[in-house]
Structure 1
Amino acid sequence: MSPLATTIILSSLATGTIITASSYHWVMAWIGLEMNTLAIIPIISQEHHPRATEAATKYFLTQATASALILFSSSLNAWKTGTWDITQMTNPTANTLLITALALKLGLAPMHFWLPEVLQGSTMKTALIISTWQKLAPMTLIFLTMNNLSTTILLTTGAASALIGGWAGLNQTQTRKIMAYSSIAHLGWMVTITTTLTNVMTVALMMYLLMTTTMFSTLILSKAKTIQNTATSWTTSPTLVIMMMLTLLSLGGLPPLSGFLPKWLILEELITQNFIPTAITIALSSLLSLFFYLRLTYTAALTTSPNTIQTKHKWRLKPNTSNITLSFTIPMTTMMLPLSPLIMN
């Protein structure tokens, strides 16, 4: 792809999210979402491969369906209430349609089937964009409409996403699919807390973006597309593998690391609000997610691969990818827990 085309596409991608995040009129929000979708399609399909074309088609169809549902729900609300203001979604039917559309856009259960397939058909860098930047606009819409959304539906969707994200990830060997199910599980945690405490949801989203960016950056640098590939990462860079291990444990939510912060705050708030069954469900589901994070950790950092010819020569091939991103995302992914009082205040 030419530099001019890349610049236009990435600018459109950024502009679409900014338009949606800063709009108060439903039509403007819809325009931003459409710009976002149309900009990412060429990025997914730039690899001349049937899997990339398939991934782009699946992504386009699901996002177009979700955008149509958002337009339909906002039109229905405007018809009943006479306003196009995003914060005035007071019609119950329109709200239910909106939650369905946003769940489809984000890849929440039970509308999650497209996300692992799309990530698997994309490159690592494209998968990173889909897992992080593309989540911002729908999460902003949830944030703006939270006062009118059904708490029951959000809690059910969140708990289902956390369970399915953990359960379905157990059977995966591809790192991109594992990250897709990790994304579904983390978004489930965020959605459960949305109607109760929005600042915790914001903290959880920030931590998710940091941890996912760090994890994808390490996978891009080590060129690890499967669990088997991670076993040979040690020969490329031992330091990188240690950072990968800490990032995976942070994604799992283990206490000394930053990933523990959002899970702790979410569980605390759910118990305070007496949502005990939901808190128990998502806490147990995090054990499922932790299992496949630990499996990746074990393969990458605690096993030595057989010394094949490829392994012997792998250390001589210097990685071309820049690791500037890792220099500031890894410290925040691993060491932000002591700063938690400062963040919350």
Structure 2
Amino acid sequence: AIKYFLVQAAASALILFSSMNNAWHAGQWDITQLTHLPSSLILTTAIAMKLGLAPFHFWFPEVLQGSPLTTALLLSTVMKFPPITLLLLTSHSLNPALLTAMAITSAALGGWMGLNQTQIRKILAFSSISHLGWMIIIIMYDPKLTLLTFYLYALTTATVFLILNTTKPTKLTTMMTSWTKTPMLNATMMLTLLSLAGLPPL
């Protein structure tokens, strides 16, 4: 909880600082109209910290692993709405090179780091980082598509967490053994995970 608070507080402070810096140099407070390059870089970094994009992703897997499933669900979906909204509003003012670099790094790192995990929450955390990377890549070309992708991601992730909250597995091994107890939920879980991975049938 402290790690989450510190990261979010630092990111919020950076957002305010970028606005103040832009006002100092450009004479306007509108955060959606950043014209000063350092202010744009600071804002890009701040939003990346709030979302948990690489290389500012360090806090997200640890916080998710140490949280109850309901809290983890909120952190993975609802708590990403404000920074995503801010990202959509300011996407034209952000630094495209830095945004692209962080997006590609997030997409690659999220997929790579998730392969080595056995804890379900950490796998979902790295999945979130990877998905956000793809969303950030899209945002420069089609913000509406990014929003649609985020809605679908939030829906599928919420489904996964709600199923996990019912079956209560903590590792992949325990999730596999719960098939006999709740076959319907496990089948739904499998379909949802396939959907989250972008595979058929959903």
- The question of a shared fold, defined as TM-score above 0.5 by the shorter chain, is answered with yes
How do residues 117-132 of structure 1 correspond to structure 2 at under 5 angstroms?
Answer: 117-132=62-77
Aligned counterpart in structure 1 of residue 44 of structure 2, from 89, 99, 104? 99
Distance in structure 2 (CA, Å) of the matches to 1:202 and 1:256: 22
Gaps of 5+ in 1: 1-55, 258-345
Distance in structure 1 (CA, Å) of the matches to 2:36 and 2:150: 28
Partners of 2:77 and 2:158 within 8 A in 1 = yes
Q: Which residue of 1 aligns with 2:78?
A: 133
4+ runs of 1 displaced by more than 6 Å?
A: none
Distance in structure 2 (CA, Å) of the matches to 1:57 and 1:81: 35
Aligned counterpart in structure 2 of residue 165 of structure 1, from 110, 119, 131? 110
Partners of 1:77 and 1:90 within 8 A in 2 = yes
Select the structure with the greater relative contact order (CA < 8 A; seq sep ≥ 6).
2
Sequence identity (%): 54
Gaps of 5+ in 2: none
Q: CA RMSD in A?
A: 1.0
Q: CA deviation at 1:147?
A: 1.2
Q: CA deviation at 1:97?
A: 0.5
Q: CA deviation at 1:92?
A: 1.0
Partners of 1:149 and 1:195 within 8 A in 2 = no
Matched to 1:154, the amino acid is L
Q: CA deviation at 1:224?
A: 1.1
- Whether 2:152 is the aligned partner of 1:226: answer no
Larger Rg: 1
User: Number of matched residues?
Assistant: 202
Partners of 2:18 and 2:39 within 8 A in 1 = yes
Partners of 1:162 and 1:188 within 8 A in 2 = yes
Matched to 2:119, the amino acid is Q
- Whether 2:116 is the aligned partner of 1:174: answer no
Q: Which residue of 1 aligns with 2:14?
A: 69
Q: CA deviation at 1:116?
A: 0.4
Q: CA deviation at 1:86?
A: 2.5
TM-score by length of 2: 0.97
Q: Which residue of 1 aligns with 2:194?
A: 249
Matched to 1:210, the amino acid is L
Partners of 1:78 and 1:84 within 8 A in 2 = yes
Q: CA deviation at 1:255?
A: 3.9
TM-score by length of 1: 0.57
- Whether 2:54 is the aligned partner of 1:109: answer yes
